Structure formats: structure tokens, C-alpha cells
A and B are shown apart, each in its own frame.
Chain A
Amino acid sequence: MSQRVAIVAVGQTKYESNKSNLWQGDVAYDAIEKVLQQTGLTYQDRVKDGFGIDRILTAGEDHFIGRTSNPFWIHHYLGAFRMSHDNVSADAAFAVYHAVIDILSGHYDTVLVVAMTKESETSRPAIENCYFDHIFLQPLGLDYLSASALQAQRYMNKYGISREQCAMVAVRNRVNAKNNPYAQEPLDITVEDVLKSEMLASPIRVLDSKPPVSDGACALILTTEEKAKKITDKPVWVRGMGNCYDVHYLGDRDLADCDSLVTAAKRAYSMAKISDPLKEIDLAEISEEYSYQELLWTEGLGFCGRGEGGKWMEKGISQMSGSLPINPSGGILAGNPIGVAGAARVVEAVTQLRGEAGARQVEGAKTALAHGYTGACGQSHCVFILSH
């Protein structure tokens, strides 16, 4: 990279199933106010001397808001007047990616990234159905859950992944979440609890799945190396990043593969000069909405070989006590809204690297991986390598 880019502040709301007294802007501002207060920054147009935020990026998708041009409605909460502001229609990890690009381009210095979704205001499965093409898959009534069930079946069948291995993912995430004050639904569960829970879409059971509805927001401020040092003594550097598209039609790929994640991760590792992820990464915050996905994504990230995700899980490396803890926050499985989830992983990773993760802190964390994806069964992935 031509220059170093730092994340200097992160903020998130508590994730809840229904923030019923709050309008969208109220939820977004909860996160925005935190990063403004953390840095003491204001916006470039309000600055008398010194510097301020000169770019705002939001991540939002019109269908969830039910209106076109989704961030427009909260632009006063964003502080967008007189500012440069654009919206990325994808998981917010991609908005963070865009922010880094903007700073590397030299055109902007200090970028505020905001992600907010209130799933409680609409029916998420009905909207997920709109992800599929109108002619072939949408009429079948597919949503992310049913598509993921297809992926889970294919993946587990091809490689002999067991339901118990998947359940272990759910258990670890839900129990980890107990240490996370922002988590929506921490649970004290066992593998047996997961296996006995009600079936949603075979083989995915209720406890294999994220909670069905989540509201929340998160915000980040990124800036150049020079300005980062003026704002904080704990900048977190973006050492590497990568994103990648896969095919869209579910039948056009083997759902037991995650080629776009493999490529995205390679791009990130190459930029960060990481050759041995298992050794060089201290923790990973990865996005998974259903338990089997974590196993598949660990293969794509190169933590283990193809088909070995289940066995790798059993080794305990991803437990809090292991050498590469995954999702100390509890991740999406403990509750995170769509769109916000990937950026929330970045927020958690940064919190860890700053040593501010309290009860969920991974001791001595120096390098973290954060990951988000957009599209059913992980069509596009975005991977960050962060370090302090």
C-alpha cells in the first residue's frame, strides 16, 4: 500500500431484536456519537483549525428501509451536510474497504463509516427472497436460510462434516457472547441443546442459526497515518484487505466451495505479507449466520485444508483458550443485523487490538482478521488483516 491507513475509533450499539422506541436515525446516531466523542473530531465544514472528517460512507440497502436512496433519510444524523457522502449497497465490510480505498487514493483523509439496519421494521426473509433472480430461484421462495440449508447439506455431505461439529460452533459463539456487553443473545448452551433444538431448514436448527431479527448500528473512523497519530495513541493499521465476487446462481458453483473467500483472503494475506495465517494471526472475527458456515469459512481462510473444517473445530484452536480464537464477541450467531455484521467484526477486531475488549479480551492480540460477506451462501467476501 502507498501509505498506511489506520482505524482510530470504533463504536457500536447494543444489538437487540427490536429497538421499538427508536427511529433509524436514533439507532445510527447512538454509534456515530460514540466515535465522535472518542476522537473529539467534528466534520470538516465545522472545523475552525485543524482537520475533521472529510468523507462519510454508509452501508445500506434500499429494501430494508423501504425507500429509495436509503441513507438520505438519516443524513443529518450522519452529519452529511456540506460533506462528501456516498452509500455502498453491500455488507458494511465493503464500506470499510471503500474507506481505505478513498484514503489511499489521496482524495480524502478522514472517513466516517456508518452501518445501520433495523430488521425489526420489515420481514428480512421476504427481502432476502429478492436477492435471487426473478425468473428461476425467486419464485421458489428461497431466502438465505433455505439457500444456506442447501449449502450446509452439500458441504456436510461432501466432506463428512457432522452435526455435532456444527453445533460446537454455535455453542462457542453463544457462550463467548456472554462476555460481550453489546451482544444480543448470549446463551449458556451445550452441543446437545443445539442438536435437540427445533429444525428450521434441514440441517439447520434454531440454535444453529443467528437470531431471526436484529437491530443495531456501528461506526468507524479511518484516517491517514499522520492524522491517526494526532487522534489516538492506539491506532489500528489496515495491513491488508481483499474482496471478491463469486457466481450468483446457486447451481453454478459447488456450494461446498467458497472460491471467492479463498481469493479475498489471498489478496488480504498477500498485501499484509502473511504466509502462515495460523501462526501470524492472533484472533479472527468472521461473519457466519449459520453454524456450518464457520467451518466452511475457516477452510476458505486457509486455517485448515479443504473439507477439514469440522476436524479443525474439534482441535479447539478456535476456542477462547486456543491459539486462534474465533469470534470472542459471539459474532452474528449471537445476533447482528444484516449489513452491519461485517463492519461489526472489524469493530470487534479493533477493540481487541486496542486491548479494550474487557471480559472477552484475547491477551496479547497483535494481529487480527476481520471478515464480512454479502449475498446468500457467501457470494462476495471481504477480508481485512489488522494490526496495532
Chain B
Amino acid sequence: MNTSTHQGDLISVPCRLTLTWREPAGLFVNRMFLAMRDKEELWAVKCHSCNRILFPPEIVCGMCKIRIEDKEENWIKLGNEGTLVQFYQVTGSREIDPSTGWHPKGQTFNPIGLIRPDGGNEWTILAHILEETDTAKLSLGIRIKAVWKPREERQGLMSDIKFWRIVEGQK
């Protein structure tokens, strides 16, 4: 039952929120990010109980609900090459400017790849940007490799990898 009896203009009061957050990466992820920044290496951990290989490395296995011990045998080095498990491309939506809540015009997006780096198992998936913008050239199962930014541009974040490139010479 709407009993509003407005006449004339409806007044809206503008309010702008500016909040910032700084998140520490955490016990395992910090180490992983440093390895990315300093050595172009991708590290995962394995749960000794269920054998899932998890990227990024986490201190708790969500399946077994136990701590993953910080032992050398639990750290798994992943390759810089991998398999494209799935991909998608956003064609009809646009990134939103968080400060205005509005869509800026004229944006295109590279396809996003769901990637299984070598050394991972069926529980290992990494989401990242694909270099190839023509999705006709992408197919499930193709081999791709990480293209790293130069050292001076790397900060210890996932964006240290610029994108993933199709490995040449595939069938």
C-alpha cells in the first residue's frame, strides 16, 4: 500500500563514500607473490590428506578442514606453461568506474582464461588475461604460457604476469 502523496520535485541527497583498504597477502600468499616478483615462479601447495593442489597456496584445506603445514614437501612449483581449461570474453558488459558506479564507454576486454599451469592437478585453476583477442583462435586444451612483465615493473601481484600467450607450433 503506497500512501506517498508527493507533489512537485523529489529531492535526493547526494552522498559520496571514499574508503580505502590495504590487505596484507598473508602467510603463504606473501611468499608466493615474492617468488613471482623476484623469480618469475608460480608456487602452489598440496594438501597431504586429499592431494588437491591449490593455487594460490592457502594455510587451510577447505575440503579436509585441516591446516596445510608449512613443509617443503607441501609446496609445489608450477610451470610457467599450462593448459587452457576454459575461457570467456565479456562483450556486452562494461567495467564500472568504482568512483561513480557508471559504465565508461568504449571498453573492450580481452578474453579471460581459466588456466591449469603445469604441475597442477584437476583442482588447480588460475584465472588470468589471455593475449589473444580473437576467440576463434582459442580452443579448450591449447597450450599457453605466462608472459611476465620486466622485473622493474613487477610488484608481487598477479598483474606481474602481463597475460598468457598461445604457445607457438601447436596443432
| Chain A contacts to B: CB under 8 angstroms | 19-26, 29, 33, 42-43, 46, 63, 65-66, 75-77, 79-81, 121-123, 126-127, 130, 134-135, 138-139
Contact = CB atoms under 8 A, between A and B. Distances in A.
Given A23-B29, A46-B64, A65-B21, 17 more contacts: A19-B24, A25-B26, A26-B59, A43-B65, A63-B19, A75-B62, A76-B58, A76-B61, A79-B62, A81-B62, A121-B22, A122-B21, A122-B22, A126-B19, A130-B17, A134-B13, A139-B15
Contacts of B13: 134-135
Given A22-B26, A23-B26, A25-B26, A46 B20 contact: no
A127 B21 CA distance: 11
Nearest to B58: A76
Given A76-B60, A134-B15, A139-B15, A66 B25 contact: no
B17 A24 contact: no
A134 B58 CA distance: 39
19 contacts: A21-B30, A22-B27, A23-B24, A25-B60, A26-B26, A26-B27, A33-B67, A42-B65, A46-B65, A66-B23, A77-B60, A79-B60, A81-B62, A81-B63, A121-B21, A122-B22, A123-B19, A138-B15, A139-B15
A110 to B, nearest CB: 14
By DSSP majority rule, is chain B's interface helix, strand, loop, or mixed?
Answer: loop
Interface residues of B, number: 24
A79 B63 CA distance: 8
B18 interface: yes
Contact of B25 (A23, A43, A46, A65): A23
Contact of A21 (B15, B22, B27, B65): B27
Nearest to B30: A21
A21 B24 contact: yes
Contacts of A77: 59-60
B24 A79 contact: no
Nearest to A120: B22
A22 B15 CA distance: 33
Nearest to B11: A135
B63 to A, nearest CB: 7
Nearest to A24: B23
Nearest to A138: B15
B94 to A, nearest CB: 20
A66 B20 CA distance: 8
Interface in B55-86: 58-65, 67
A25 B23 contact: no
Contacts of A66: 19, 21, 23
Interface in B106-162: none
A19 B25 CA distance: 11
A25 B59 contact: yes
A35 to B, nearest CB: 13
B58 A122 contact: no
A367 to B, nearest CB: 35
